[in-house]
Amino acid sequence: MAPTITPLDATFGATITDIDLAHLDQPAWQRVEDAFHEYAVLIFPGQNLTDEAQVAFAMRFGEIELLRGDPAAKAVAISNQKPDGSVLQPEEHRYQALRGNEGWHTDSSYMPLAAKASMLAALVVPSAGGETAWADMRAAYDALDNDQKERIEGLSAHHSLYQSQAEIGHIVESGTAYGYHNKGAPLRPLVKTHPVTGRKSLFIGRHAYQIPGLDDGEAKALLDDLLNFACQPPRTYTHGWQPGDLIIWDNRCVLHAARPYDYSETRVMRHTRVAGDPASELAATARDARASGFEPSTSNI
Ligand code: OGA
Ligand code: MN
């Protein structure tokens, strides 16, 4: 059976049905990869993949980015439930990381090598809330007027998890946890050209903060304005999860954000992240390091 691809009622995104991601033949994979480039967010309801099948599907998109420094952790839980079954409390580092996910962001932009794609599958969902939202940064760029496009052309922002977590009151000593740089935050252009489609998009989100050439107040105002403008309908989609759903998105051209829920309930998602291509996702500030033997590092969520 050929997959059925149904575009969302938005500038991006599609739902794909009549497909079994655990048993993909070559023509079906080709449809999926083409749809990924066209729609940037793909929703696969009711897949109920195992860990192994999810990782195998992710590996079709590229190398897996190792999270939390554990080479065995190709799929990690994004969850407020601890191994003993209790839920995370506000003073815990992981709780604060989950709260951070509620701000619009793109994955690993604070690492030397930003992510290509990320995948989430729902295992346990709360009775209300806990959706995930995405926003189309290609359409956002297209919707800017020429003055705005000219203003941001040539500007770059530093991306820092230390900075974005500090904004929500979560202070981690620099360099003491994955994702917390101690050698300067990666610098990335505000306008990114997609390495496959050639489309331009805004590359912003909560990890972006300082802009060389602007003072910090100006940079913050510009980044806040762009983010507020960008993450508006018809450029957004919010998914209410059913257990078994799987969604993959293109971190190079969409932002995403978790929606809040009652943390006394449990929410368990399985996350797999696909590493960027150094040719297009390695920060300019990391290129020298790479030439002298830089290895893509592990990251936080
Ligand atoms: C992530 C993320 C959002 C969510 O896994 O990178 O931001 O809804 N998740 O859990
Ligand atoms: Mn994320």
- Local confidence pLDDT in tens for the 301 residues of the chain: 799 999 999 999 999 999 999 999 999 999 999 999 999 999 999 999 999 999 999 999 999 998 766 667 789 999 999 999 999 999 999 999 999 999 999 999 999 999 999 999 999 999 999 999 999 999 999 999 999 999 999 999 999 999 999 999 999 887 777 788 877 899 999 999 999 999 999 999 999 999 999 999 999 999 999 999 999 999 999 999 999 999 999 999 999 999 999 999 999 999 999 999 999 999 988 876 554 444 444 444 5
Strand (E) or helix (H) holding 268: strand 268-275
Q: What is the pLDDT of residue 300?
A: 47
Q: What is the C-alpha to C-alpha distance for residues 67 and 298, in angstroms, rounded to an integer?
A: 5
Closest atom of ligand 1 relative to the 101 alpha carbon: 7
**How far does the centroid of ligand 1 lie from the alpha carbon of residue 101, in Å?**
6
Write the CB contacts of 174 (distance below 8 Å, at least 6 apart in sequence).
162, 180, 181, 182
Q: Which of 43, 78, 104, 245 to mutate to test the pocket of ligand 1 (most atoms within 8 A of CB)?
A: 78
Closest atom of ligand 1 relative to the 258 alpha carbon: 8
Which residues surround ligand 1 with Cβ inside 6 Å?
78, 101, 107, 118, 120, 132, 256, 258, 269, 271, 301
Take residue 224 and report the two structure tokens written for it.
């806040």
**What residue's CA is closest to ligand 1, atom 7?**
101
Q: Tell me which ligand sits closest to the C-alpha of residue 247.
A: 1
Q: What is the C-alpha to C-alpha distance for residues 2 and 197, in angstroms, rounded to an integer?
A: 24
Q: What is the pLDDT of residue 69?
A: 62
β-sheet bridge partners, residue 6: 15
Closest atom of ligand 1 relative to the 269 alpha carbon: 10
Closest by CA to 120, choosing from 261, 286, 301, is 301
Alpha carbon distance, N-terminus to C-terminus of the chain: 36
Q: What residue ranges define each of the domains in the chain, with the CATH number in brackets?
A: 4-290 (3.60.130.10)
Q: What is the pLDDT of residue 67?
A: 78
The helix/strand/coil state of 179 is coil
